[in-house]
Amino acid sequence: MNYFSSDFKLGILGGGQLGKMILAETRKFDIQTYILDPSKEAPSQFGATQFFIGSLMDFDTVYQFGKMVNLLTIEIENVNLDALDKLEAEGLPVFPSPKTLRMIQNKGKQKDFYVENNIPTSPHQRFVDLNDLKKSIEKDELVFPFVWKCAQFGYDGNGVKIVRSAIDLVNLPDVECIAEQMVPFKNELAVIVARSVSGEVKTYPVVEMEFHPEANQVEYVICPARIDDKVAQKASDIALQVSQAFSHIGLLAVEMFQTADDEILVNEVAPRPHNSGHYSIEASYTSQFENHLRAILNLPLGNTASKVAGIMVNLVGEEGFSGQVVYENIEKIMAIDGVTPHIYGKRETRPFRKMGHVTIVNENMTEARKIAEEVKNSIRVIS
């Protein structure tokens, strides 16, 4: 198949920042791209060959979009799977497959899948709605504290809450959900696995995530993780086991906990490029976005090793600011060696909205971490 400078059309469902960063790679290879997104302001509107506005959850919209392209991929999981089933049945390659997406889209099904496949994960219970969960507490079948997660449509700290007492139940939405046992962990880790159509598999180095205490959003992604080699090996092995079980094609980001006694538990996965791999644009031989393309187009996978230590800082809207975005002190951080900002193209900021990220690369991890702190404290996303 000739993908380059040809009539081949790659379709991408979702036009957010992940789509935008995939487009940097399709443009490098001169591959035609069609993008579908509900927002006319989507970050991917400028980089695609053709940009279409429409709902990703509407059967007809997704089906008709799929009929225009030669291969379909996603940058967000919340898409109409029935339309993808039909397109796949009619012969359109869809990666990741709707079958894989079905298991991942619902967090309850995803957790059950780990248990069924002997993948280590924290104990959990599934509930049809909030009332069902409350009954379970009344019968002492569920005890505080626990982690509440909505089963579908949660993202980046939305749809996740630590429930310590009955008071914390008050503002929870009445939806299908799961309750997970609290895990005393010392690190949150992630491994990105690339798997091609023909079954070639590569993993990126284990990264470590430092979280914002209130927003439940990642503040820093650090590669390589500052952990023991044996723990890193165990995390990589488990990520490969998860990838094998889902038999996904493309990228799979596997988020994990390293417990106090160095066990590795799988938290959740994302079958697409992921926040934990953004550092790879500057720090790796092959970025996660390029390897996603290589995997779904069945091209040889690129080298996933890092050239240098890389740290990513998320740029999120500052609290108390909404409106036309201003990146304060961006020149100041750009004056520092090894610092590259990525601006996603969202004109409107609001508190904790992901607006961009900054990568810091350095031969020395300690130095990189110091610069990351300086970047974090200098740049402000305000209006």
Spatial distance between the Cα atoms of 235 and 190, rounded to a whole number of angstroms: 8
267 is an annotated ligand-binding site residue: yes
181 is an annotated ligand-binding site residue: yes
149 is an annotated ligand-binding site residue: yes
183 is an annotated ligand-binding site residue: yes
75 is an annotated ligand-binding site residue: no
Do 95 and 71 meet the contact criterion of CB atoms below 8 Å apart?
yes
Spatial distance between the Cα atoms of 197 and 297, rounded to a whole number of angstroms: 7
- Cα dihedral 20, 23, 28, 34, rounded to 10, equals -150
Spatial distance between the Cα atoms of 140 and 302, rounded to a whole number of angstroms: 51
111 is an annotated ligand-binding site residue: no
Spatial distance between the Cα atoms of 51 and 127, rounded to a whole number of angstroms: 39
H or E segment and range at residue 26: helix 17-29
Helices marked H in 106-246 — which ranges? 107-116, 130-138, 229-246
Q: Give burial (CB, 10 Å; 0-12/13-18/19+) of 1.
A: exposed
Spatial distance between the Cα atoms of 111 and 121, rounded to a whole number of angstroms: 8
- Cα dihedral 319, 219, 56, 148, rounded to 10, equals -90
107 is an annotated ligand-binding site residue: yes
17 is an annotated ligand-binding site residue: no
255 is an annotated ligand-binding site residue: no
Q: Binding-site residues for ATP, please?
A: 107, 149, 180-183, 188, 267-268
Q: Binding-site residues, please?
A: 107, 149, 180-183, 188, 267-268
